[in-house]
Each structure stands twice: as C-alpha cells, then as structure tokens.
C-alpha cells in the first residue's frame, strides 16, 4: 500500500471521521470508524456509525489499484463509478478496483467511495465533479494531487448542516417526549408482553434475531445484497407469501442498491428502492430493513402506525398509519411512505433515549415491538 495512506490509517486507527464527500458534493454519507488496520492480513475494517456491523473489509490492493489509476490520470478528475455490481462503467475507480482477476474476493461489493474517502483524508487526492461522457451529466470524481500533497484537515465527526432530521426534531421533539412520558407504562408493558402469532416472548425474540442474523450473513456472503431464500424467510415470518420478485439477479441488484443506501445512512432511500418492486409496500420493505439492524431501524406496519395515532402536533399526526389487512390507513405514494419511515425512526430515537435514561435498555426495535402491542 502507498506509504502515506498506510501511515495515515495506522495513525488514525480507532478514530471516527466524516466523509470529505460532504463538503465536496453536498451529500450526507454516514460517519465512519476505522476499526482496525491489519497489516498482516492486509485489510482495513471500517464501521459506519448507523450500522450495527462492520462493513465488508477494504483490502490493501484496492488502495493500490486506486492510487495507481489516479497517478496515471494525474492531470484530470476520474469518475468514482455509480454501479453497485458488474459490469461497471469503464474508466471509473470502481471498475479499476474490481478489474479481474480479483485478488482476494470471489464477489465484488461497493468499495470506491470508502477507499477514495481514505485516500482523500490522507491527502493524496481531492474530490471534484467530472462529466460522464455518455450522459453529459456531472458526477462525482477524484484527482491525484501529487507525491507530497498538503494533507486535508482532519475533523472528526464534523457538524452537519441543518437537514430534514434536525428540522423535524426541532419542531416535534418536545411533543414526542411528552407523548412518551404519558405512555411510558404502556411502552414498557408492551415490550414485556411482545407476542406475534400467539407465540411467547422468548420464541418471538429468537425468531426475530434469527432472521436478523440471516440477513447479515446473506449480505456478507453475497457482497452487499440479500438473496431470495432469505427474503422469503422474512416474508414468511411476517405473515406474507413468498417475496414478490422471483428473478434472483434482479433481487440481488435491487437489494444491493437498497443496502448501499442504508449503509450511507439513507434509510428513506433504502426502503424506497425496495418499494420499487411490485407488491412490496412499506410493511414488507421495512421488515427487510428493520430486521437487518435492530439497534438502528424498525418495522413500519399498521399496528405501529395505529399506536401512534394520538401522537399529534398542532392537531396533525406526526407519523401516518399504513393500511393493514383488517384496518384502514393513510394513502401515500411510495416516496411519502419512505419519508414517513425516516420520520418514524427519528420519533422512535426520541422514545428510546428517554427510556434508556429511565434505565430501560431499549433499542429502536424494542420501541417498535412495544408499539406493535399497543396498536392491536
């Protein structure tokens, strides 16, 4: 690996950073932690702050191929590449990283943004826009800045600009907190008595945890997405028939893109991508996302929505209610449901934090389970 990049990584092992793409492109990728730099195994392990699990490893050879490509094109910006799986667009960093033969991996996964973030933070390259020659659109690019560059200033966990979440919480936090306090006993009892399909608490929790584990293992095995067998198991657990889309390659493509967006901190984009599949509504989509990481995400169905019908600000409900099999609900576009899913997560974060302060070790999923019981 390039000496400067390796020195930067080892100097900053165990530290957290914000992506330089925030300032360069106005995007909002999740902050990440450099978990381990394993010189013997020649891997870098990173973990995104909103993810329960470390990301797939970044190998030294990924950095070698990227730096070499940037040096060869030192006089221009090169595209990072937007595709999540082969065939990759030619003349992109993603295509260079995954140029066969793969050195240690059997399957590819999205790597260029994270490899490039580290190279930029180490001071070897800078971000900028470049025109896609096929579409004429400006896309994300990177340019080499020399053998002895001025290092970029390192600011861990840079403050984020005012965004939808901050606006939402500024407006609704006090109302959500008041509702939580008023319903504190019901939330605690709901979680204590959680039951699904007339099964006991422990069996229900074990089944949820098994599904969660299988989703994570599928992502590791495939390289980012979730296989059809695992999705069928999620649907069966949720009381649905098999997953509506039956083409394995299409399933892999869509779920890989959805989980890439989730890894970037975009829960709304993740469920919206899954809902692009015919007959996958917010309940099915959120089961896949929610069970993939129960610390950070939740299921959004009619019972959860029904439990929150009394949560209102200025007489208007904060979280809308999906339709159920035997109950009516709100009618929204897929985009509106995706935005409501994000607002539900922010709402449950406030509830979780209050319950944690009271001594109850709730995760986001635990609050969801309590609401599920309250929404009978």
Contact 305, 329 (CB under 8 A): yes
Q: What ranges in 238-278 are assigned the alpha helix state H?
A: 248-263, 267-274
pLDDT over threshold 80, residue 137: no
Give SS3 for 44. strand
Q: What stretch of H or E contains 48?
A: strand 43-48
Residue 153 lies in a domain: no
Query: Which residue among 92, 111, 144 closes a domain?
Result: 144
pLDDT band, very low/low/confident/very high, at 147 (cuts 50, 70, 90): low
Residues 294 and 339 in one domain: yes
Residues 118 and 249 in one domain: no
Which DSSP category does 276 fall into?
T
Q: What stretch of H or E contains 221?
A: helix 201-222
Per-residue pLDDT of 9-64, as tens digits, reads 999 999 999 999 988 888 788 899 999 999 999 999 999 988 877 788 999 999 99
pLDDT over threshold 50, residue 313: yes
Contact 8, 122 (CB under 8 A): yes
Per-residue pLDDT of 71-115, as tens digits, reads 999 989 999 987 777 788 899 999 999 988 877 766 778 899 999
Residue 154 lies in a domain: no
Residues 230 and 335 in one domain: yes
Please count the structural domains in the chain: 2
Residues 211 and 268 in one domain: yes
CA 29 to chain centre: 9
Which DSSP category does 356 fall into?
H
Domain hosting residue 221, numbered range: 166-374
pLDDT over threshold 70, residue 320: yes
Contacts of 83 (CB under 8 A, 6+ apart): 89, 94
Beta bridge partners of 79: 92, 141
CA-to-CA distance for 301 and 142, rounded, in angstroms?
42
Give SS3 for 177. helix
Residue 314 lies in a domain: yes
Kindly give the interhelix angle for 228-237 and 201-222, rounded to the nearest 10 degrees.
160
Residue 81's Cβ-side half-sphere holds a number of Cα atoms within 13 Å equal to: 25
Residues 231 and 122 in one domain: no
Residues 126 and 179 in one domain: no
Residues 34 and 122 in one domain: yes
pTM of the model: 0.64
CA-to-CA distance for 171 and 196, rounded, in angstroms?
34
Predicted local confidence at residue 73, as pLDDT: 94
* Alpha-carbon radius of gyration of the chain: 22
Per-residue pLDDT of 186-233, as tens digits, reads 999 999 999 999 999 999 999 999 999 999 999 988 878 999 999 999
| The two structure tokens encoding residue 107 | 């399957």
Residues 137 and 175 in one domain: no
Residues 39 and 139 in one domain: yes
Residue 359 lies in a domain: yes
Number of H helices, E strands in the chain: 15, 9
The burial class, CB within 10 Å (0-12 / 13-18 / 19+), for 73 is middle
Residues 79 and 195 in one domain: no
Average pLDDT over all residues of the chain: 90
Residues 118 and 266 in one domain: no
Residues 121 and 198 in one domain: no
Predicted local confidence at residue 46, as pLDDT: 94
Nearest of 269, 298, 274, 301 to residue 285 by alpha carbon: 274
Residue 157 lies in a domain: no
Residue 149 lies in a domain: no
Predicted local confidence at residue 326, as pLDDT: 82
Residue 160 lies in a domain: no
| The two structure tokens encoding residue 162 | 């005012």
């Amino acid at each position: 690996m390039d000496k400067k990049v390796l020195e930067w990584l080892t100097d900053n092992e165990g530290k957290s950073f914000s992506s330089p793409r925030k300032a360069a492109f106005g995007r909002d990728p999740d902050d990440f932690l450099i978990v381990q730099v394993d010189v013997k195994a020649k891997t870098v392990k990173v973990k995104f702050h909103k993810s329960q699990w470390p990301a797939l490893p970044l190998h030294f050879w990924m950095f070698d191929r990227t730096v070499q490509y940037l040096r060869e094109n030192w006089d221009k910006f090169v595209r990072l590449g937007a595709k999540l799986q082969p065939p990759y667009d030619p003349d992109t960093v993603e295509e260079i990283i995954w140029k066969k033969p793969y050195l240690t991996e059997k399957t590819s996964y999205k790597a260029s943004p994270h490899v490039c973030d580290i190279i930029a933070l180490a001071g070897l390259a800078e971000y900028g826009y470049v025109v896609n020659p096929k579409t004429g659109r400006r896309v994300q690019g990177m340019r080499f800045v020399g053998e002895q560059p001025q290092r970029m200033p390192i600011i861990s966990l840079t403050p984020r600009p005012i965004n939808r979440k901050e606006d939402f919480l500024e407006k609704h936090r006090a109302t959500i907190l008041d509702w939580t306090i008023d319903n504190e006993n019901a939330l605690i009892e709901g979680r204590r008595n959680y039951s699904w399909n007339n099964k006991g608490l422990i069996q229900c929790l074990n089944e949820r945890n098994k599904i969660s584990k299988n989703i994570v293992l599928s992502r590791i095995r495939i390289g980012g997405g979730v296989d059809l067998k695992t999705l069928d198991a999620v649907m069966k657990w949720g009381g649905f028939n098999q997953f509506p889309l039956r083409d394995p390659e299409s399933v892999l493509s869509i779920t890989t893109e959805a989980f890439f967006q989730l890894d970037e901190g975009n829960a709304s984009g993740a469920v919206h991508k899954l809902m692009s599949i015919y007959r996958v509504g917010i309940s099915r989509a959120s089961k896949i996302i929610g069970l993939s990481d129960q610390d950070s995400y939740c299921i959004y169905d009619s019972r959860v929505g029904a439990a929150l019908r009394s949560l209102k600000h200025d007489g208007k409900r904060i979280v809308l209610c999906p339709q159920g099999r035997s109950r009516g609900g709100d009618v929204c576009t897929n985009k509106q449901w995706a935005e409501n899913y994000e607002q539900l997560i922010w709402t449950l974060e406030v509830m979780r934090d209050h319950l944690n302060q009271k001594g109850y070790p709730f995760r986001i999923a635990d609050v969801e389970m309590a609401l599920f019981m309250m929404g009978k």
